[in-house]
Amino acid sequence: MAARSKDSSVGSGYYTTMSGTSMATPHVAGAAALLAAAHPDWTGPQLKDALVSSTKATPSYTPYQAGSGRLDALAAVHASVFATASAYSGFHAWPTKPAETDVQKVTYTNAGDAPVSLDLALNAAVLLDAAVTSVERDADGVAVTVTCPDGDHVVRAATLLVCVGRRPNTDPLDGAAGGLELDEHGHIVTDSAYRTSVPGVWALGDVVNHFQLKHMANAESRLVRHNVLHPQDVRTLTNKVAPRAVFTSPQIASVGLTEQEARRRKIEYLVSTRDYAETAYGWALEDTTSFVKVLANPLDRTILGAHIIGPQAATLIQPLIQAMTLGLTVDRIARDVLYIHPALTEAVEQALLAL
């Protein structure tokens, strides 16, 4: 809830004034009046907290540029849970030190009659190509020193979560004693029909494939069941296309090569990226961050990889997985298939058409 940003076509600076009054003030004052009429017992700070807590996010701008977001008077009037609001956001002297942090206390108030549960989330920084060099306890939790290409960073947090990875639990089997062939990672070696090196012994799931994904194990279980029951009609599964998804917010879905992998392996590729916001459904969602990215072979125009970050990503990537599996070209799935309007799949369509 601030005046128009510096990106406005008129004025200069982050804010503009008229007779010493921010242009946003009349709008905020009007919303405050509506809110005060609906809640005559609320104090000024409570009105402020409710107005700030009910704004719509503007992720294209920083809080320094756009405050807490865009005013939503209707949401403010109906708000029952709000947080303490402050113009102070933990500013630091410029230039800031790496991973410099600030601690602020936020109090949530439930003005309604029914109990509520809060699902809180924080914006997080991602440090790539980072190696942890030390971990120490401090008064607030932990301090982790990581070495990155641009130098050392100290990351402070209340809790440290460690992801150590997974490995197949084949060691208790003593597979070698039974004649089972294992690879250097401890996985049981099978052929494409999931037969092991021992006749009559089949293997599937995390002890076989390196991806360790439930949907791959599901497919393998169906295949092995069929092969055991129908040895005269053995089926195979190559797993050349291994899709994966992370059900976070936003969802992340991926299959095949990334640009970094293609460059590292010196594989030529075409790339196209389309934002959700370029589709009618994405515009209706007021989505400004989600996107679809597709990599294609410039010679045979088949898909090399696809990556989607945003709502329904794990669903939207499915037609691209099918195209990769069946060897379809981007031209066939872009031009020979109709995409429903105004569905989010139009973001996939537009990315394909641009290749």
Burial string for 246-285 (b: 16+ CB within 10 Å, else e) reads eeeebbbbbbbbeeeebeeeeeebeebebbbbebebbeee
Q: Who contacts 30 (Cβ-Cβ below 8 Å, separation ≥6)?
A: 73
Read off the DSSP letter of residue 202.
Answer: B
Contact 60, 70 (CB under 8 A): no
CA nearest neighbour of 109 among 30, 45, 34: 45
Q: How many helices (H) and strands (E) does the chain have?
A: 11, 12
Contact 320, 348 (CB under 8 A): yes
In the structure encoding, which two tokens stand for residue 298, read together?
Answer: 């410039």
Helices 345-353 and 318-326 pack at an angle, to 10 degrees, of 40
CA nearest neighbour of 39 among 54, 60, 27, 26: 54
* Strand-pair partners of 22: 17
Can you tell me whether residue 334 is helix, strand or coil? Answer: helix
Q: Give the type of residue at 160.
A: L
3-state DSSP: the chain helix, strand, coil percent, rounded to 5? 30, 20, 50
Active site residue 226: no
Q: Is the dihedral of CA 221, 222, 228, 233 positive or negative?
A: negative
d(CA 330, CA 293): 13
Give the catalytic positions in this structure.
341
